[in-house]
Amino acid sequence: MKKHNFNAGPSILPRIAIENSAKAILDLNGSGMSLLEISHRSKDFQAIIDEAVALFRELLNIPENYHVLFLGGGASLQFCMVPYNLMKTKAAYLETGVWAKKAIKEGKFFGQVDVVASSADKNFTYIPKNFTIPADADYFHITTNNTIYGSEIRYDIDSPVPLVADMSSDILSRPVDVSKYAMIYGGAQKNLGPAGVTFVILREDVLGKTGRPIPTMLDYTTHIKEGSMFNTPPCFAIYTVLETLRWIKELGGVKKMEEMNKAKAQLLYDAIDNSKMFVGTVEKDSRSLMNICFVMKEQYKDKEDAFMEFAKGKGMVGIKGHRSVGGFRCSTYNALPVESIQAMIDCMHEFEAANA
């Protein structure tokens, strides 16, 4: 049976990236050595990380005055590294979900945190609007896509202070004007690669202003000076990132990704909106293209478990909604083919015909 991978992360990757990474584990570029056993100081690995940085820059049109880093620790470590390196006295945050809340919690260890707006009042089912960013904040932090609740900021905010964005789950899914951000970061395990590596895109002029000493490994300048190799980086994960970036370029770049993602999301949202049994959970103008969340309508709530089992029997993987939301979630990242979306829709229609 064909499997359709809707996991929220770690998630589906391009098949070619998986296959080429598997080959490199056995033999990297005919060297007779495994990717897993070469030195990160070798010419072979330096070529890998150099190409990954160059492709990242090309695909996102990253200006020359920004650094690209590949680090460990996931986006969760960035929740404290950002304020450690950037907050002098106060920072502003937009609260749009669980990961934004976690970032806010870490920020409070380093100074005053102003939550300029929150969608917690409606269980994070919308993106707040008409908020004011304090001009005296050291930076303004946003989480662009919310994997758990299925909302997304799909435009580049104009901020009067340095803008910092956690783009863990929508990086490379759409064009971004990097010049509007002081920093973009995220875990790779959605659109970019496997778990284990974190990307950081950083404008250097925002550093060195806090006046506090920073532990070596938590200081961005450490990793800038050493080209992401102050210590041994996650070599395998970086290689798979490279293969994924190659795949994106081959397909036509980030604009092509956006075109494909819009088409996939529209198909599934239309099916949900026209369904007798299912209903979306996010306000329409805040809907994510990456994580599509929905539940059974009230009169069919008792059939959610039955649908889950039915869908599993049809090869749907990872569609159970997060425990804090319930219902269902289809993560439609770059590598998910439209055929999987259609298979999910067919599954919904078949169950609905038999049970509505």
Active site residue 190: yes
Distance CA 310, CA 353 (A): 13
C-alpha closest to that of 37 among 171, 190, 223, 236: 236
Decide if 253 contacts 59 (C-beta within 8 A). Answer: yes
Decide if 96 contacts 142 (C-beta within 8 A). Answer: yes
CA angle 83, 89, 90 (to 5 degrees): 70
Q: At 304, phi and psi to the nearest 5? A: -65, -45
Active site residue 247: no
Select which of 138, 170, 190, 320 is catalytic.
190
Distance CA 251, CA 245 (A): 10
Q: Which letter does DSSP use for residue 3 in this model?
A: -
Active site residue 99: yes
Cis amide prior to 134 (ω within 30 degrees) = no
CA 40, 221, 135, 74 torsion-angle sign: positive
Select which of 99, 138, 170, 219 is catalytic.
99
Select which of 138, 166, 170, 219 is catalytic.
166
Q: Give me the residues paired with residue 146 across strands.
A: 151
Q: How far is CA 11 from the centre of its chain?
A: 11
Distance CA 332, CA 338 (A): 9
- The residues near 125 (Cβ < 8 Å, ≥ 6 apart) are 119, 149, 151, 281, 282, 283, 286
Q: Got the DSSP string for 200-260?
A: EEEEGGGSS-S-S---GGG-HHHHHHTTT-SS---HHHHHHHHHHHHHHHHHT-HHHHHHH
Residues labelled as active-site residues: 99, 166, 190
